[in-house]
């Protein structure tokens, strides 16, 4: 009988979907969902929808909840992390302060000023969770869904002996998009993909043994297709491969698309296609709307979705509990998986079975793609060191190396921006105040 502990369950989005997915696994008829969140009101909402999902499934899963994870971690087999630390209080500072320096972000949760400060706020709490898992649930697999994915997963992997994997939906989502662009049934598309989270590359796209990249490049030259993913198609046409993350996300990871207003105008579109401040301007309302949607599901005014998703958590649990080995694309430490990337967190195919996660050797990425990944991994490394050592200076060094920030700002401007963001968020950076190197 499996025990799945969901930390940050009050977010309800990942918690509800993963519970739905686990309940959809054939033969996995009983277990425990332990829900944890420091927000008691949102935790109660998550518990109520979880109980309703179990009721609808007619399975014998038990739901427990606590604002104190130490009360429920014992005996856990799978820890699913989806925490958000002080995001609501800081989403404006993450966007507004960098924008004054010319750093224009769409999402800001992976690298860049927003992503780095999200890591600094989230990392200490996350590492405390990992330490509690080691102490109270030493046999658990740790599944991280929180961004910045690479930074937090690498920090956890370096602080525990337990199996840790970061899970995203960009590989499975983008592979389906590509099948759609090519009008090929998804199950007939053959592909290879590797890199880092939000920056993994489809190096092979084939249908019945025929390379599909020539056709995709021709399709990308048509206005209607190009407009569906302008940044990603531009990158494919210029650098040779399609990347896993949306145009809006990816536009802020590289120095090419957002360093001048004319470039933002040329390449950015509404929403996830690159809209300036899209996350900062919408996330607070999304959060409220999601809570309202959950309440609607509970009172019957909104239908409860019960379709199993493409998220990997349930596949991992099924692989272990039902002895059905599977493959996922996971974020794991680079133990010779990608030859021309350094030690760090990479996103590669992983076999999953009772023995854990087994990264599949990929070989070398095309050098131009590996070079883009390495620039990110340098930032990741410095932020992870900052988290593990409580070292503010290394966090500043990380921001100084961020590709977009460095394309826009001088080193002196970066230091001033960093200082402004630090002052705006100081109350949420207390662990660093214990050891500050200037």
Active site residues: 169
Taking CA 410 as the corner, what is the angle to CA 408 and CA 413, rounded to the nearest 5 degrees? 100
Q: Which residues pair with 33 in a beta bridge?
A: 4, 63
Phi, psi values for residue 281, rounded to 5° = -80, -20
For residue 344, give every residue at least 6 positions away whose Cβ sits within 8 Å of its Cβ, in sequence order, or none.
150, 154, 196, 333, 334, 377, 380, 381
Spatial separation of the C-alpha atoms in residues 378 and 344, rounded to whole Å: 9
Q: What is the DSSP string of 47-69?
A: HHHHHHHHHHHT-EEEEEEES-G
Instruction: Report the DSSP beta bridge partners of residue 347.
Output: 195, 331
- How far is residue 80 CA from its own chain's centroid? 13
Tally of residues, the chain: 438
Residues 235/236/242/243 CA torsion (nearest 10 deg): -10
């Amino acid at each position: 009988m499996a025990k799945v502990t969901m930390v940050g369950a009050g977010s309800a989005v990942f918690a509800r979907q993963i519970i739905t997915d686990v309940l959809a696994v054939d033969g996995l008829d009983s277990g425990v969902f332990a829900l944890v969140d420091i927000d008691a009101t949102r935790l109660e909402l998550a518990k109520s929808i979880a109980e309703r999902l179990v009721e609808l499934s007619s399975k014998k899963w038990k739901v427990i909840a606590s604002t104190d994870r130490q009360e429920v971690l014992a005996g856990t087999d799978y820890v699913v992390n989806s925490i958000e630390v002080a995001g609501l209080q800081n989403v404006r500072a993450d966007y507004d302060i960098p924008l004054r320096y010319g750093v224009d972000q769409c999402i800001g949760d992976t690298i860049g000023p927003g992503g780095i400060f999200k890591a600094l706020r989230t990392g200490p709490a996350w590492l405390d969770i990992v330490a509690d898992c080691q102490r109270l649930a030493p046999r658990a697999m740790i599944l991280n869904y929180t961004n910045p994915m690479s930074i937090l997963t690498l920090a956890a992997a370096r602080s525990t002996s337990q199996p840790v994997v970061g899970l995203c939906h960009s590989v499975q989502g983008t592979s389906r998009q590509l099948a759609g662009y090519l009008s090929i049934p998804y199950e007939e598309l053959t592909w290879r993909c590797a890199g880092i989270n939000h920056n993994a590359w489809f190096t092979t796209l084939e249908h019945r043994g025929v390379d599909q990249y020539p056709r995709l490049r021709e399709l990308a030259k048509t206005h209607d297709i190009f407009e569906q993913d302008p940044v990603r198609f531009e990158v494919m046409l210029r650098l040779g491969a399609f990347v896993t993350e949306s145009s809006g996300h990816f536009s802020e990871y590289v120095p090419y698309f957002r360093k001048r207003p004319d470039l933002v105008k040329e390449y950015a579109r509404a929403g996830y296609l690159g809209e300036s401040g899209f996350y900062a301007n919408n996330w607070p309302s999304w959060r409220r709307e999601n809570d309202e949607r959950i309440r609607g599901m509970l009172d019957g005014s909104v239908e409860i979705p019960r379709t199993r998703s493409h998220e990997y958590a349930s596949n991992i649990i099924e692989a272990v509990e039902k002895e059905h080995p599977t493959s996922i694309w996971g974020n794991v430490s680079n133990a010779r998986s990608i030859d021309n990337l350094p030690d760090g967190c990479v996103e590669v195919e992983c076999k999953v079975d009772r023995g854990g996660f087994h990264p599949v050797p990929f070989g070398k990425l095309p050098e131009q793609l590996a070079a883009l990944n390495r620039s990110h991994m340098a930032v990741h490394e410095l932020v992870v060191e900052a988290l593990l050592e409580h070292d503010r200076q290394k966090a500043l060094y990380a921001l100084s190396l961020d590709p977009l920030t460095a394309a826009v700002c001088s080193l002196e401007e970066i230091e001033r921006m960093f200082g402004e963001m630090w002052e705006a968020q100081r109350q949420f950076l207390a662990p660093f105040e214990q050891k500050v190197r200037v």
